[in-house]
Amino acid sequence: MFKSKKITLFLIEIGELTYFGRRFFKELFSKPFEFKELLRQCYYIGNKSLLLVGVTGFIIGLVITLQTRPTLEEFGAESWMPSMVSISIVREIGPVIIALTFAGRIASGIGAELGSMRVTEQIDAMEVSGTNPFKYLVVTRVLATTLMLPILVILGDTIALYGSYLIENTKGDVSFQLYFNKVFNSLEFGDIIPAIIKTYFFGFAIGLVGCFKGYNCKKGTVGVGIAANSAVVFSSLLLFVIDFIAVFITDIFFEI
């Protein structure tokens, strides 16, 4: 009985999120366009995650190389190191881990910000003053996360590869030129393009869930905490679902 109620509530939430997403597309193409606020959000969201993404990327590169090196050494296949690391980072590990860190930072931030605006009637005040709060607050934030995450992932991947090169250079005396020559020889468009495309969907999901949770926040200040927390949990879960679909589709078109 208790489980079936939980499932019903979950399905209702999925339905509401879909309706929220539909409204996003409806408002996205209607005037007025909030360009100034969009730029502000892009700067804010991108800039806020820059350091975190950089550090995460660097550590991913270091750790993957350190962990994989002994196994490849055993088979005398150290020369495959740049190819293996670059393919795994660009295709999967980079986008997913950076998107998860981004979700932790941005989805919770948006959920808490919009949630507190909702409970303190700031969203109502905006609406009453003749400004469409959905367009001003939600459309700009979702668009900003959608546009910023791919850029951050490209940056994070690059830093991760640099981290990997540092280990290779220290342990295997591989030059910068040789390392990146091997990287670019092994990477194909089929590795890069689908990986970048899926990050747009990751960014969209993170922004949409964060805004959905915050915009519909209830139960006062307790609700703000719940909104921030569930925004991270829900968006992280959604990332894996999108990732599975993306890999499945890529497999059909690019034959991984």
Is the CB of 15 or the CB of 220 nearer to another protein? Answer: 220
Q: Which is nearer to another protein, 70 or 130 (CB)?
A: 130
Residues that bind another protein (CB under 8 A): 113, 116-117, 120-122, 124-132
- The answer to whether residues 174 and 65 touch, using CB atoms and an 8 Å cutoff, is no
* Cα–Cα dist 67/88, whole Å: 13
Whether a cis peptide bond, with omega within 30° of 0, leads into 95 is no
Smallest separation (angstroms) from another protein to the CB of 136: 9
Q: How far is the CB of 141 from another protein (least distance, A)?
A: 13
- Shortest distance (Å) from residue 126 CB to another protein: 8
Q: Compare residues 119 and 148 and give the one whose CB is closer to another protein.
A: 119
Reported for 145-148, long-range contacts at CB under 8 A and 24+ positions apart, including other chains, are: 145/45, 145/102, 145/106, 145/110, 145/203, 145/204, 145/206, 145/207, 145/210, 146/200, 146/203, 146/204, 146/207, 147/42, 147/203, 148/42, 148/45, 148/46, 148/49, 148/203
Q: How far is the CB of 43 from another protein (least distance, A)?
A: 14
Pick 92 or 127: Cβ nearer another protein: 127
Pick the closer one to another protein by CB: 137 or 208. 137
d(CA 240, CA 238): 5
Go through 147-162 and write b for each residue having 16 or more CB atoms within 10 A of its CB, e for each that does not: bbbbbbbbbbbbbbbb
Q: Give the nearest distance from C-beta 131 to another protein in angstroms.
A: 5
Q: With respect to another protein, which residue has the nearer C-beta, 165 or 215?
A: 215
> Minimum distance between the CB of residue 96 and another protein, rounded to whole angstroms?
31
Q: Using an 8 Å Cβ cutoff, are 123 and 81 in contact?
A: no
CB of 125 or CB of 249, closer to another protein:
125
Contact present, 122 and 192 (Cβ < 8 Å): no
- Residue 195 CB, nearest distance to another protein (Å)? 34
